Structure 1
Amino acid sequence: MQRIAATICTYNRYNVLAKAIESVRNQTLSKDQYKILIIDNSPDYEKAKKVQQEYHDPPFLIYHIERIPGLSNARNVAAKLCETEFIAYLDDDAIACPEWLEKIVQGFDQFGTDAAVLGGRVDPMWEIERPSWLDDTLLSYVSVVNWGGEMRVAKPDEWFAGANISFRTQDILDNGGFDVSLGRIGGGTSLMSNEEIHLLDQIKSKGKLTIYAPEAQVDHLVEKKRLNHAWFRKRVAWQAVSDYQMDSEKAIEMARSGWNFLLEYFFGLPPKERTIRGLFYDTDDPKQFREQLWVLSTFTTMLLAGFNGVEK
């Protein structure tokens, strides 16, 4: 009986999709216990149809073309189609280790029916050398996850990345799925996120468990186009928008608490940078760049709030 669906949602990433599919074809979990589900959200329908012909091989591999755009919608479609007890999401630019599905199923079985979500380790595959300004505290923005230790119930501050996250399928359906107002749509113009966080918050509020399983590991591509200051500024600004969309009161409160730091940051800059340039000038100093991103996040949130409540 197929217990788990290894699911890859893709958008016009055929250059990397093949390796992701190959990695889930070659799992140590018995092939009669899992299926592969591809949700193709690409804009070129005719091209998607051609790729579908290469891979569609039901019941083991189902290649579904989804015309409604959006990652959250694609994930919801997968949850409705999979007909399996569990569903494991893998990014189209990630490669699963051979034991990935085996460790996921093992984790759910070990912690019982209260275990609703399981996240695994995500190691980076750097397309180019990691920049010197990229501080460890910023690695979450490129979905690097490594909490160490052994399989366990996750601590409250241990988050999972969408590149490697699994669910008891019914818990997705019972909680309304991924919020389609959050998450990515299209090719990356918008970097909305938090769809996983929003769903996990709902699931955990019902007393369900989230499990961290480090051996359910994947390698995730960090593309060259992301390894520059401009992309990180964009990513942080959209994160602020996502946080505001999910819980505006909490986001505003966080921004207010950082307002004094924002002022201190600007006063500490060289005189010529104490303008709007202070939000986007380039620096190779990891600490200075990290602080710039924090200030940019605070500024974005307060801008969304109309600077309501800021001390004049």
Structure 2
Amino acid sequence: MNVPVTVVVCAYTDRRWHQLGEAVRSAAAQAASMGGDVIVVIDHNDSLLSIAARDLGSLHNVRVVPNQRHRGLSGARNTAIDMASGAVIAFLDDDAIPEPGWLAALLNGFIDETVLAVGGSARPVWPAGHSRPPTLPSPSPNAWGDLDWVVGCSFTGQPTHPGPIRNVMGCNMAFRSGPLRRSNGFGEDLGRVGNLPLGCEETELCIRLTGSAGPNAIRFEPAAIVRHHVSTDRLSWRYLLSRTYSEGVSKAAISRMVGNGAALSSERSYTRRVLPRAVWRELASGRPAQASAPVIAVVTAGLGYVTTRIRQSRRP
């Protein structure tokens, strides 16, 4: 499908500079073949803004701009939405490198005019000298991991074929620009700010879009693939605890906005079906550390959710 497209890449740290450059150049090449462009939004980091404007802004179809909204990923994305010219706006993380054909596969998901958003898949790239950690068990070396959502990648239990889903994944997604703007974009009270691992702003947005357009409005296209780099700090048990607790906090915030049914529909099925199988599989294989990871994730996410809901109930 050949439609005008703008690709958005948001960045806040120079620690990912090489990955940012690779992501932007790949996205720019794919967008250029379709007459599209790329907007790089720098989130309140003047030194990174200067370097990116010099080195990436020189590409013919790339603009580098500062976040003009609240600090954080949602504000940066909304800044780009205000500026984008494409009929479709695609979003790519600054440490996610698109595979060849990524953008074309995303756009193919919009052939059905009732589709408002399309999400792709993400495969982890482990740091040099590292392999899959025990915090992220997997059925096999080449399979999606049971907890890979913790590091922003596709995970066991997600669909493996094109079709409707509840929400897209933030590192690899695209929206029709008209409905996206009419929805007021990403909630700036949600989402990651710097290293703080909150999130779910794309989940809340997709639930709002589905509510106004029907259950087939959000689509998964697994052929739209990115390679998502995983930093060393995200391999630790500390990060698993922090990320899953924050997931519970974020889901509690969404539940207050849209109700428990919509906010937790996918999570209930995932917790009942996928995680118990993972625990028993790892125990049967003699890997107690890997078996404990799903249990820890569920308990910690539940703690974040319950604690936040209690706090919410005490507010006027």
TM-score exceeds 0.5: yes
| Counterpart for residue 96 of structure 2 | 94
Which residue in the other structure is 1:104 paired with?
Answer: 106
Q: How does 1:11-160 map to 2 (within 5 A)?
A: 11-12=12-13, 13-27=16-30, 31=33, 33-43=35-45, 45-57=46-58, 60-66=61-67, 68-108=70-110, 110-112=111-113, 114-127=114-127, 128-135=130-137, 136-145=145-154, 147=158, 149-151=160-162, 153-156=163-166, 159-160=167-168
Q: Secondary structure at the match of 1:115?
A: coil
- Are the counterparts in 1 of residues 241 and 300 from structure 2 also a CA contact under 8 Å? yes
2:283 counterpart residue number: none
Cα distance, 1:123 vs structure 2: 0.9
2:305 to 292, 295, 301: 301
Flag structure 1 segments of 5+ consecutive residues without an equivalent.
Answer: 259-282
Deviates more, 1:194-203 or 1:58-67: 58-67
Cα distance, 1:57 vs. partner?
4.0
CA distance in 2, matches of 1:250, 1:2: 36
Deviations 1:127-179 (A, max 9, x none): 1211134223211111222645543x3145xx421010100011111111100
Shift of 1:288: 2.0
- Indicate which of 177, 183, 192 corresponds to 2:185: 177
Q: Over aligned residue pairs, what C-alpha RMSD do you find?
A: 2.7
Post-superposition offset of 1:104: 1.9
2: CA distance, partners of 1:155 / 1:211: 6
Gaps of 5+ in 2: 138-144, 269-286
1:58, CA displacement in angstroms? 7.5
Task: For 2:226 and 2:210, locate their aligned partners in 1 and report how far apart those are by CA, in whole Å.
Answer: 24
Larger CA deviation: 240-249 vs 69-78: 240-249
Report SS of the residue matched to 1:205.
helix
* Equivalent position SS for 2:100: coil
Aligned AA (1:193):
G
For the residue of structure 1 that corresponds to 2:22, the secondary structure is: helix
Tell me how far apart the structure 1 counterparts of residues 246 and 81 of structure 2 sit (CA, whole Å). 26
Deviation (angstroms), 1:300: 2.8
CA contact (8 A) 2:248 2:303 kept: no
Counterpart amino acid of residue 248 in structure 2: A
| Structure-1 residue corresponding to 2:205 | 199
Q: Which has the larger radius of gyration?
A: 1
Taking the aligned partners of 1:92 and 1:298, their CA distance within structure 2 comes to: 30
CA gap 1:47/1:89 in 2 versus in 1, 3 angstroms:
closer
Matches within 5 A, 1:283-302: 285-302=289-306
Q: CA deviation at 1:37?
A: 0.9
Are 1:24 and 1:98, in contact at CA under 8 Å, matched by a contact in 2? no
Identity score, percent: 22
Deviation at 1:55, TM superposition (A): 1.9
How far the C-alpha of 1:51 sits from its partner, in A, is 2.5
- Counterpart of 1:266 in structure 2 is none
SS at structure 1 position matched to 2:212: coil
Give the TM-score of the pair, scaled to structure 2: 0.78
* TM-fit CA distance, 1:105: 2.0
Note if contact 2:106-2:173 (Cα within 8 Å) is conserved in structure 1.
Answer: no
1:246 to 2:277 alignment = no
C-alpha separation in 2, matches of 1:196 and 1:95: 20
